[in-house]
Amino acid sequence: MVGRIDRRELMKENNIDICEKQTMRDQASKSKALDNITDAITGKRKRDSNDYEDELNEEMVQENYATSTRKPSSDFAISSFGIEVSSKQILTWDHVVPKMEIKENSLKDWINEGHNFSEDFRQFQKSIIEKLKVNPVLSYVTDCESIIALSSIMILRKNQKPAYVSCTDNKWRMTFPRITYKFKMPALVQSIVYSYSTHIMRGELAEFEELWRLNWSKVSLLDNQDDKRIFDSVQTITRRLVLDNQSNQSDEDTYAHRTCHVILEEIFRVETMQLVWANGESSSSKNQCSGNSDTNGLKPDFRLICKDENESEILFGEIKSPKVENHKFIANHALAKLATLMKSALDIGIHDETYGVLINGNRIEFWRITLEYDGLYKLVSLVEMTFPAEAAEFLVIISVIERCYELRELVLETHLNENYQRGSNYSPAKTKVSIINIQTSGHSE
């Protein structure tokens, strides 16, 4: 009798355990589904975290290519003579040296007011090669300009003359490609955005919603079809901007990504082009890698594809979370990747210029790359600005939208290019190096 009761109790406990386990499985399944939704919205948190780990690894190995010291560990072989031998994997660029193509007699140099900027750039490339012969480690934190130059790309910012350029700062500013902004938001649309700002800064969400609905009728006051499309886009952008900011105040990742998404989707809604999101391979990048050991192309966060027979790529974008915007490694690595994507698309030979959008936290920067001179790709910073991150900055959205429309117009005006191409050398090689540490004191086994 006692044994029968014990068996019943045991069966009851087993049933409880089974129910508890099933409940735990259900909770885990729901949690995983929520995690998947969150990952889909924020896009790249995991990848940004990996980039941060790469930054830490890079800092550990840079400047210490051949030797390093470590505390004794059971993972390392230590002889009776007190010598520790191990190995670690690092990223090196020595494979690039024989690939570099620097011609003294180029077909066409960049010369302005008697100064040869192409020659400055060639000398800079030579200095990088000499450095790599001694120590093949380059850092994305400190050597981003050098890494990008390995692919024959010269970074141009109006107020930042490269250290290797020997002309004066004033001549550099005068030489910098002139950028004119022709787009201006229609006066009616601009006045509507101003009318929203009062309610937004006061936190009057209901009043904003009511005014937003009433303003739709004002589209009839516009005669031009392009202006009407701009009106529709600005209405959509402003509402999403306000509502997302209210619902995601504690989640700046989600807010930044949604804001970027809606602005780009609305403005680049062009019949002849398609904006493609997610981390699909760039076809032009894959084509450039086909002749190397790399089998896969780079994966931009988004790209703009022309709806032509070639489905050519003309614009690429990289988005980095606000939580990592101050990590120089991640920002510079994103710029180097973006530059390579733009160059690969240019090398296909369909367009005479390609474009890039780099969003780092709330900062946004537009880039253009051209190949007007032999072996010199000019990566030009077109504009730098910030997304409105709080109610007091709401009116900043006007200039952001205007610059995005200007970028769209530049993209639509591109033509065919000339052939002064050079190879891309974006990726470092993984290699193992020996690390020998001779102990200064005796080692007891």
Domain assignment present for residue 48? The answer is no
pLDDT digits (tens, 9 = 90+) for 316-330: 999 887 666 557 888
Domain assignment present for residue 25? The answer is no
How many domains, the chain? 2
Quote the pTM value. Answer: 0.75
158 and 304 together in one domain? no
* pLDDT surpassing 80 at residue 21: no
Domain assignment present for residue 60? The answer is no
- pLDDT at residue 370, as a whole number: 93
289 and 252 together in one domain? yes
240 and 294 together in one domain? yes
230 and 334 together in one domain? yes
Q: What distances in angstroms separate CA 353 from CA 68, 259, 376, 416, 423, one per listed residue?
A: 45, 27, 13, 8, 17
- pLDDT at residue 40, as a whole number: 42
Domain assignment present for residue 2? The answer is no
171 and 308 together in one domain? no
- pLDDT, greater one: 421 or 379: 379
User: Confidence class of residue 99 from pLDDT cuts 50, 70 and 90?
Assistant: confident
* pLDDT surpassing 70 at residue 260: yes
- pLDDT at residue 84, as a whole number: 61
The last residue of a domain, from among 175, 198, 224 = 175
pLDDT digits (tens, 9 = 90+) for 214-228: 999 999 999 999 999
331 and 401 together in one domain? yes
User: Confidence class of residue 388 from pLDDT cuts 50, 70 and 90?
Assistant: confident
Sheet with 302-306, strands from edge to edge, namely: 153-156, 376-386, 363-373, 353-360, 313-320, 302-306, 273-277
3 state SS for 39-62: HHHHCCHHHHHHHHHHHHHHHHHC
| Range 404-419 average pLDDT | 79
Q: Which domain holds residue 283?
A: 187-422
Q: How many CB atoms within 10 Å of residue 402?
A: 17
Helix (H) or strand (E) holding 431: strand 429-438
* pLDDT surpassing 70 at residue 158: yes
pLDDT digits (tens, 9 = 90+) for 274-290: 999 876 788 777 666 54
* pLDDT surpassing 80 at residue 344: yes
| Range 360-382 average pLDDT | 92
